[in-house]
Structure 1
Amino acid sequence: MTDLPTQARVVIIGGGVVGCSVAYHLTKLGWRDVVLLERKQLTSGTTWHAAGLIGQLRATANMTRLARYSAELYTGLEAETGVATGFRQVGSVSVALTGERLEELKRNAAMARAFGVPVEEMSPAEIKVRYPHLNLDGVTGGVWLPTDGQADPANIALALAKGARNRGARVQERVKVTRIARAGRRVTGVDWQGEDGSAGHIACEMIVNCAGMWGHEVGRMAGTNVPLHACEHFYIVSEPIAGLRQLPVLRVPDECAYYKEDAGKIMLGAFEPVSKPWGMKGIPESFEFDQLPEDFDHFEPILEAAVNRMPMLAEAGIHTFFNGPESFTPDDAYHLGLCPEMDNVWVAAGFNSIGIQSAGGAGHALSLWMDAGERPFDLGDVDVARMQPFQGNKTYLFERSKETLGLLYADHYPYRQKATARGVRRTPFHAQLLAQGAVMGELAGWERANWYAEAGQEREYRYSWKRQNWFENTAAEVRAIRGAVGMYDMSSFGKLRVEGAGAEAFLNHVCGADMSVAPGRIVYTQFLNAKGGIEADVTVTRLSETAYLVVTPAATRLADETWLRRHVGDHPVVITDVTAGEGVLAVMGPKARDLLRAVSPDDFSNDAHPFGQARQIEIGMGVARAHRVSYVGELGWEIYVSADMCGHMFEVLHAAGADHGLRLCGMHAMDSCRIEKAFRHFGHDITCEDHVLEAGLGFAVATGKADFIGREAVLAKRAAGLERRLVQFRLTDPEPMLYHNEPLLRDGEIVGYLSSGAYGHHLGGAMGLGYVPCAGESAEQVLASNYEVDVAGVRVKAEASLKPMYDPKSERVKA
């Protein structure tokens, strides 16, 4: 009979490579009461059939950091545990068949240089030297990453499990978790049942959901939302090919294919554009090392292209045709961290076919987070708190998963929009904006007008790494905001009402700025962590003596609400998400005051309505609340309207706007204006590991008030001096485009990368923000250097400024 402890510090659910990694890393930190439960046998879900590709370059610096950690870990695991991991640093070659893909690879190579990953750009002839079996028809170039490799996925998991056992963890196979006991916002333990008929309960301080494609189901058992869906993943393995020697991993994304040499055979795998979701009725109870039915018709187009690309496959027979399930998330990023719905439920699941290369780093980062109670560095890309509650909907997951598998090898164009599972969240102005030519993008499920098409212009994106088809549309929208008046929909931004007798004291504890202000005052502030890093970037409006409105970015509404709830303590407050209750129209530009005067009897002069104030107004036959703030650097108001009056309010403003040069504007125009004004973008320019002073936001911190989270770190940094500064840049050549992660060079040496980028239509060039090391330097010394930005391998001269290049004194905002 299975004999398990009745108590543990943590129970890990799932014995794939990720669960084993979490157990390994927790025990490495000294945790001993660690129990890992696997329903069948270790690796029997997805890990056992993974391709085992170990790539080190990811889309952001910290994701690259985790992937590199995985490779370094696997290199030493065999010596530690005696279990061979099969890790071979064979390098990888990625090949482009179009000019657009080559641009992407060149930008990736530049990003690799910024992140410290060895990389070489290659001509077709150089690719042929690295991979002589490749047919070069249509090849435009490629990149070589010498430190990439491949490994044995199952043995990596077994080695991690052995390492965990050696340090005291209990790793138990053939035991299924049947129930998770909860009390309020905490789990208290798990019920289990063994295949031998035994059963029991383990009381625990926390659990980690590492259940892979069962992660969604286990998440619901724990009262948490873990959106993921299994998809069929296909590959073939050839018969042995005579004379075939060790080869690099080869990726041909334009043909949706990857190739791996192993023991004299070639594995060909695919990430086809339209995938096949699996397990809609649940995963069979007996599932263990199972394969799914073959679907040769589905795989045939990939194979046909591969036989042309790799002629030796035409001569070799197929030894294995494999189809197995892997789990995918709505945005192709895995889920890591503390679930927002509960206070002791952690997750590491949904690895989107990169589980092997991610497992080491993910387990390491999560264990550090669990041990310290705070993120070791910015993990916003994968933090499960980014998922919206509706994204756990099974129909949504089914529809979105058809696309997400294929997106791994699709062109990763800037501004690329998801095509599936759209239209779920619509603002109150949605129909009116569509009628005026809006082209929608999607963020956190919200349909948002990104740009407006002209009459007769196609209303869809034509993607490119150069100027896209909406470039001139956005330029015209920016001209309206800068020269007349623009109006855009901000309804998707999160709205959290904080009210109660303790609201002022609570927000003074959580926010860096002083919340002891008069009703009607709007305060720009941050939620700081103990290190002075930025957990949220918000505006807070005092509505009354006991009520405040916290306005957050749309994507971080849930995360910001969760941060507030976890820091309430004994403060007598109630926190309510009121996002859907009000629509918001931003009316911005030098003629904004004229437009509002035309539709309202209220006084919009500086004396009656100064910057940073909110008040009730009349518009048309309705009422609204006007907030005088701006994210675009112009005179303007954000008009908050009860959802029932949004249609009327839009009609009144839009009709009157014809006499004032009003133009409807989209999110791309807002982004262009905000980067000209050097306004920070949360998640890019400012994150939990960016100190508020180094981000240039010291003006938003009131260290003279009573104690608040991060105050000591702010005082310490002021005393010690800055180690880096966030600097604004503008390319002197107006043609290149910037997005983010482009290498930043100071006097010819790479010193960092751009945290965000966009085209500054008013200032006439691509712009970016990026951190520059400055220990011991004055502001003048930082600006005295020569700066360049590496755009796809070409160094472009850039102007640098510590003050906003547009309206540095904010005279226009306060006009």
Structure 2
Amino acid sequence: MSVLPSQARAVIIGGGVVGCSVAYHLAQLGWKDVVLLERKQLTSGTTWHAAGLIGQLRSSLNLTRLAKYSAELYARLGDEVGLDTGFRQNGSLAVALTGERLEELKRSASTAKTFGLEVQVLTPSDVREAYPLLAGEEIHGGAFLPKDGQADPANIALGLAKGARAGSVSIFENTRVTTVHRRDGRVTGVATDKGEIAADFVVNCGGMWGREIGRMAGVDVPLHACEHFYIVTDAIPDLPRDLPVLRVPDECAYYKEDAGKIVLGCFEPQAKPWGGQGIPEDFCFDELPEDFAHFEPILERAVERLPILAQAGIRTFFNGPESFTPDGRYLLGEAPFLRNFFLACGFNSIGIQSAGGAGKALAEWMDGGEPPFDLWDVDIRRLHPVQNNRRYLEARVSETLGLLYADHFPYRQFATARGIRRTPLHDALAAQGACFGETAGWERANWFAPDGVEPVYRYSWQRQNWFEHAAAEHRAVRETVGLFDMSSFAKFRVEGPDAEAVLQRVCANDVAVEPGRVVYTQWLNRHGGIEADLTVTRLSETSYLVVTAAASGIRDLAWLQRQIPEEARCAVVDVTSGEAVLSLMGPQARALLQTVTDQDLGNEAFPFASAQTIELGSVLARAHRITYVGELGWELYVPSEMAGSAFEALMEVGEGFGLKLCGMHALDSCRIEKAFRHFGHDVTDEDHVLEAGLGFAVKVDKTPSKFGDFIGREAVLHKRETGLQRRLLQFKLRDPAPLLYHDEPIRRDGEIVGRLTSGNYGHHLGAAIGLGYVSVPPGTALPALKQADYAIEIAGELFPAEASVKPLYDPKSERPRS
């Protein structure tokens, strides 16, 4: 038996399929001195009982890339290591029992084309031909992905482990990690029940133990186990062995042929959380107690859907735990505030299909010191400490399991674990008919219901019940004045004698401005990709305020802190909760605000992109003249305890100016008309700042700070020399009826040349608007890009579109400066 080493380059905690994949891919990159520690035996947690479904189409391009790689890896792994992985590419078939579900499948099929996946939309008769065992008259159609398949989960993990060992990875079973050591913001190793290992990297692949491993390291890892049920039938005579994996999401069920038997599993709407009080220490290849009554409704519908099940006995009724996260997406990447502590866990029952790609991406991230491409969808930095609360998790994961097979309607809101973070104006807005949505745990008014209208969502792929109400809010912003509660903005004070020098190094724009100026800027990585998109306001010679989106608060705070040199006299403090923000926007904003302040708000006294302290009614506010909707307006920052008073002062005089309370839907529709970018969709760390059309905010000739040129400067200069390979454009459908969301294919002269990164309805422009990157043929000037014949594909149908390089609304940006 090998002796546990005292030193390693990397320690991987967890011997499931994901931990084995990370080990395998580190070995493929040539890493030596890698140790994998498993508390019991390999695969003994959740991997051994996984269903082994290998689907490739995910919710975004890069997650699909990872899933595609998994399938490709498993197809060759058996021959590589000499262990049968059971991988079969029989395809997968998703069946729609409603028109809404068919619309979802059609939209997904269109999206798949931009991801490079082969997919076929099937008629009801096609569905029955593809899966002859199906019964029922209510089948509306389906979608078939021929390169999906299934595999043996345990053997995939063991195959990866075998490949890792061949690459000199040391694997120790029956070795429990008891402590994660750290010092000066960096991980330094682990303690186990067999001894200590000093390490440069530690990777948390602990599955449903991931949260507890995170607590050892002082890192929030929001995940929680749920019970997951399936049955295995007795052998069924003459059962075809080439049946595709069948999913009937409207009945919460999936079916897989397995050695002449059928596996029937489910993702029921109301799941059963498990393990909140702790997982038994001796848990190893364990099953949870049977709960047939919980599974029985799924089985009853399944027998009607596949009548062959009525004659088949049940060989196995299985109940085992799987780990789930608050938003149904797994956790990947480096912990925001602990260097070299990496995570790959919380896989929401798609661990097998994700493990190959996730392991490869994480290994490349560790090796290169940065993500290999945009992984924001699953980046651990998207989640916030409040979401690691056990009671919050227990409530939320009871919903997220079922949402895997629920209708994935646009704007769908979580129903559980709500009301955790409320702005100071929450109750006042609720009294005015606010319908709230959740972002990063924050309750935010998405739209306002008029008197007599219930402020609840009625979901659809078409115009939802709030559409006209948000349109009225949008028109108020364009024609009179709207008021938004933007208190959920993440806000950081950057303080100290070196604050300017640090921010000049981090920001692509020039922030060496006089106090009282607001600067819109990006933070770039060394490739010129956009790490953050935000504003920086200089408050004094030694003080700045950084304001960014709620969703990216943790990410941006961690990025900024990591860029501060050790010798810098500079500190960053999160002051998000200290100030509320009221955003007053529209042509009448100045006139309204002037009635509650004596401050001169004219252009000369209070120019665009400046900030001043004003009296607002009976309180003091710091007014920032800036906009995200493309209109004259101010963001009004007031101490949280004074927010109510400021709100009342504005509302008291608002009626005379046509003031209307507005929500996030109106904000988004206004910003997309103005072609303002949205971080995480239109701009990411993989999108070059020049190709995103944001070169105006990049100052390559600014004086370098004492800490050097701004990050990404060389990449910007290089791109200027070599030219753009793609460019973000704005699109407007010529037909006013269809709706756009994101990921719809962009066709130019009939060929797919990109996809929409975001979409919404432009109520002023009178049609759906989208933003999306298109390829730039060599030597093509930007104005020529819009001259082609463009169309956007929606659910398989093409809709002609107008393309524009400049914003279709107020292209010269005259209105915010009016």
**TM-score of the superposed pair, with normalisation by structure 1:** 0.99
Q: Report 1:448-527 matches (<5 A).
A: 448-527=444-523
State yes or no: 1:266 paired with 2:262. Answer: yes
2:275 paired residue number: 279
CA-to-partner distance for each residue in 1:380-403, whole Å, 9 max, x for gaps?
Answer: 000001110111110100110110
Distance 1:180 1:358 in 2: 26
1:196 paired residue number: none
CA-to-partner distance for each residue in 1:752-788, whole Å, 9 max, x for gaps?
Answer: 1100000101100011000011132111321110000
Alpha-carbon offset, residue 281 of structure 1: 1.2
Question: Root-mean-square deviation (CA), in Å?
Answer: 0.7
Percent of residue pairs bearing the same amino acid type: 65
State yes or no: 1:222 paired with 2:225. Answer: no
Residue type at the aligned position of 1:345 = F
1:619 paired residue number: 616
Q: Decide which of 579, 590, 600 is 1:603's aligned counterpart.
A: 600
1:761 paired residue number: 763
Query: Equivalent residue of 1:376, what SS?
Result: coil
Is the Cα–Cα contact under 8 Å of residues 723 and 776 in structure 1 kept in the other structure? Answer: no
Residue type at the aligned position of 1:672 = S
Query: Equivalent residue of 1:187, what SS?
Result: strand
Query: Equivalent residue of 1:508, what SS?
Result: helix
Alpha-carbon offset, residue 178 of structure 1: 1.2
Query: Equivalent residue of 1:87, what SS?
Result: coil
1:808 paired residue number: 811
Is the Cα–Cα contact under 8 Å of residues 128 and 136 in structure 1 kept in the other structure? Answer: no
Query: Equivalent residue of 1:645, what SS?
Result: helix
CA-to-partner distance for each residue in 1:78-130, whole Å, 9 max, x for gaps?
Answer: 11100111100000110001110010000000001111100000011001111
Alpha-carbon offset, residue 729 of structure 1: 0.1
Alpha-carbon offset, residue 341 of structure 1: 2.3
Structure 2 alignment gaps of length 5 or more? none
Distance 1:299 1:435 in 2: 41
Query: Equivalent residue of 1:754, what SS?
Result: strand
Residue type at the aligned position of 2:615 = E
Query: Equivalent residue of 2:462, what SS?
Result: coil
Query: Given the superposition, is the C-alpha separation of residues 565 and 330 from structure 1 closer, same or farther in structure 2, using an over 3 Å criterion?
Result: same
1:685 paired residue number: 682
Displacement over 4 Å in runs of 4+: none
CA-to-partner distance for each residue in 1:19-76, whole Å, 9 max, x for gaps?
Answer: 0000000010010110000000000000000000000100000000000000000111
Query: Equivalent residue of 2:779, what SS?
Result: coil
Alpha-carbon offset, residue 184 of structure 1: 2.5
2:561 paired residue number: 565
- Aligned residues, how many? 810
Structure 1 alignment gaps of length 5 or more? 194-198
Residue type at the aligned position of 1:509 = R
Is the Cα–Cα contact under 8 Å of residues 783 and 805 in structure 2 kept in the other structure? Answer: no
Distance 1:357 1:280 in 2: 26
Q: Decide which of 626, 630, 641 is 1:629's aligned counterpart.
A: 626
State yes or no: 1:301 paired with 2:297. Answer: yes
Query: Equivalent residue of 2:271, what SS?
Result: coil
Query: Equivalent residue of 1:658, what SS?
Result: helix
Query: Equivalent residue of 2:298, what SS?
Result: helix
Distance 1:624 1:293 in 2: 59
Is the Cα–Cα contact under 8 Å of residues 136 and 304 in structure 2 kept in the other structure? Answer: no
Is the Cα–Cα contact under 8 Å of residues 124 and 136 in structure 1 kept in the other structure? Answer: no
Alpha-carbon offset, residue 2 of structure 1: 5.9
1:244 paired residue number: 239
State yes or no: 1:123 paired with 2:123. Answer: yes
Alpha-carbon offset, residue 152 of structure 1: 0.3
Alpha-carbon offset, residue 562 of structure 1: 0.1
Q: Report 1:399-798 matches (<5 A).
A: 399-569=395-565, 570-705=567-702, 706=704, 707-774=709-776, 775-798=778-801
Query: Equivalent residue of 1:652, what SS?
Result: helix
Residue type at the aligned position of 1:477 = E
Alpha-carbon offset, residue 631 of structure 1: 0.2
Is the Cα–Cα contact under 8 Å of residues 271 and 408 in structure 1 kept in the other structure? Answer: yes
Query: Equivalent residue of 1:647, what SS?
Result: helix
Distance 2:189 2:793 in 1: 52
CA-to-partner distance for each residue in 1:462-482, whole Å, 9 max, x for gaps?
Answer: 000000000000110011000
Q: Report 1:14-25 matches (<5 A).
A: 14-25=14-25
Is the Cα–Cα contact under 8 Å of residues 223 and 341 in structure 1 kept in the other structure? Answer: no
Query: Equivalent residue of 1:625, what SS?
Result: strand
Residue type at the aligned position of 2:784 = Q
Distance 1:525 1:486 in 2: 25
Is the Cα–Cα contact under 8 Å of residues 509 and 522 in structure 2 kept in the other structure? Answer: yes
Is the Cα–Cα contact under 8 Å of residues 216 and 227 in structure 1 kept in the other structure? Answer: yes
Distance 2:797 2:485 in 1: 37
Q: Report 1:2-401 matches (<5 A).
A: 3-193=3-193, 199-246=194-241, 247-401=243-397
Residue type at the aligned position of 2:596 = V
Is the Cα–Cα contact under 8 Å of residues 325 and 346 in structure 2 kept in the other structure? Answer: yes
Alpha-carbon offset, residue 200 of structure 1: 1.0
Residue type at the aligned position of 2:172 = Q
Distance 2:622 2:536 in 1: 14
CA-to-partner distance for each residue in 1:179-211, whole Å, 9 max, x for gaps?
Answer: 122213122121112xxxxx2111111100000
Distance 2:54 2:730 in 1: 35
Query: Equivalent residue of 1:675, what SS?
Result: helix
Distance 1:212 1:719 in 2: 46
CA-to-partner distance for each residue in 1:296-335, whole Å, 9 max, x for gaps?
Answer: 0000000000000000001111111000000000000000
Residue type at the aligned position of 2:595 = A
Distance 2:4 2:655 in 1: 74
Distance 1:181 1:496 in 2: 29
Distance 1:116 1:623 in 2: 55
Residue type at the aligned position of 1:81 = V
Query: Equivalent residue of 1:599, what SS?
Result: coil
Residue type at the aligned position of 2:167 = R
Alpha-carbon offset, residue 136 of structure 1: 3.1
CA-to-partner distance for each residue in 1:146-189, whole Å, 9 max, x for gaps?
Answer: 00000000000000000000010001111111112221312212
Distance 1:801 1:493 in 2: 30
CA-to-partner distance for each residue in 1:436-465, whole Å, 9 max, x for gaps?
Answer: 110000000000000000101011000000
Distance 2:86 2:779 in 1: 47
Is the Cα–Cα contact under 8 Å of residues 12 and 19 in structure 1 kept in the other structure? Answer: yes
Distance 2:357 2:330 in 1: 12
Residue type at the aligned position of 1:805 = L
